[in-house]
Structure 1
Amino acid sequence: MLARQRSTTAVVLGATAVVALSGCSSAVEVAPTPLATGAACRAVAASWPARAGGQERREVSDASAGAAYGDPAIIARCGVPALAPTTQDCIEVDGLGWVAQPLSDGTRFTTFGRDPAIEVLVPKAYAPEPLLLPAFTEAANRLPTNSLSCT
């Protein structure tokens, strides 16, 4: 699907979450995003869901970096740069746009039309992966919108 274009171009950084289990800890390593400590992401952090796709929330290495659920970990991070217009698949779930990017071990979903954006990394073990997105609706609705939407 094509996404509507906007007048300015955003730079999309290839930053991804670092997912690993610490040696003696059960905390999931989650790398902070460039905008994780901003006001918008602090509001999102307060509204991460307790469960995603039936999986309970897990401890993460840095609470400001995001949230994790289940094993293998579903990772949610706020503060990734907003996506520019794209030709990648864009789906609407609960009125929110999400761009899906297939990965070798699952799918990366990034909110579309929100600035900053939320990124949700869903392992293949949770297929069909888009069914997990409604859990993040409340958190994503706390982000400011921009002029982009799925078409």
Structure 2
Amino acid sequence: MTLGLRRLSACAAVCAALLLTTACARAPEVELAPLADEPACSSLSWPRAVSGLESVGTTPQHPSVSAWGDPPVIARCGLPSPAPTTNSCVVVDGVDWVVRQLTDGTAAITFGREPAIEVLVPQEHGAVPLLLPAFGGAARSLPETGRHCS
């Protein structure tokens, strides 16, 4: 085999491996929230990284949703603001969040903002309040309803 053919063969093997790796990596499927097309959600500025986790694509691709890492931390805008609840309510960087445990992680939803942002954090990434500062800018850009954690 000539040197040119060996290089071409090696290049083809590397390209095939990259294609297989890319084909196997699937973007997380995210259900759009009911108010996802609200202007406040369409113009959000999501963080580039969350606690060191890089942004990954989502299915569908929509400005109201974003994800980071694997397993992904998922954020989506466009939920109705939650009603007062007995769930834990925390204030992080001036934003109120209602936090609830899930079977495989934690969910946090902005309280007193309409539409609301929901952040879903798999248990592998730790406590959700530690990741919420990354979402402060996006959350503060949403209209306030006047409700706050008490």
Deviation at 1:53, TM superposition (A): 1.3
- Deviating beyond 3 angstroms after TM superposition, the runs of 4 or more aligned structure 1 residues are none
- The amino acid across from 2:76 in the alignment is R
- Secondary structure of the 2:135 match is helix
* TM-score, structure 1 normalization: 0.80
Deviation of 1:128 after TM superposition, in Å, equals 2.3
Measured against aligned partners, the alpha-carbon deviations of 1:93-143 in whole angstroms (never above 9, x if no partner) come to 001000001000000100001011000000100112211000001111110
Unaligned runs of 5+ in 2: 1-22
Kindly name which structure, 1 or 2, has the bigger radius of gyration based on alpha carbons: 2
Q: Pick one of 51, 57, 66 that aligns with 1:53.
A: 51
Quote the offset at 1:63 in angstroms: 2.4
Structure number having the greater helix percentage? 2
Local SS of the residue matching 2:130: helix
TM-score, normalization by structure 2: 0.81
The 5 A counterparts of 1:2-151 are 24-44=24-44, 47-64=45-62, 65-151=64-150
3-state SS of the aligned residue for 2:136? helix
- Kindly state the Cα deviation for residue 25 of structure 1 after the two structures are TM-superposed: 4.9
SS at match of 1:79: strand
- The answer on whether the counterparts of 2:81 and 2:115 sit within 8 Å (CA) in structure 1 is yes
Distance 2:123 2:26 in 1: 21
**Distance in 2 between residues matched to 1:69 and 1:76, nearest whole Å:** 9
Aligned length: 127
The answer (yes or no) to whether the contact 1:43–1:142 under 8 Å persists in 2 is no
Q: Equivalents in 2 of 1:95, 1:147: separation in Å? A: 13
The Cα RMSD (Å) is 1.2
Identity of paired residues, percent?
Answer: 49
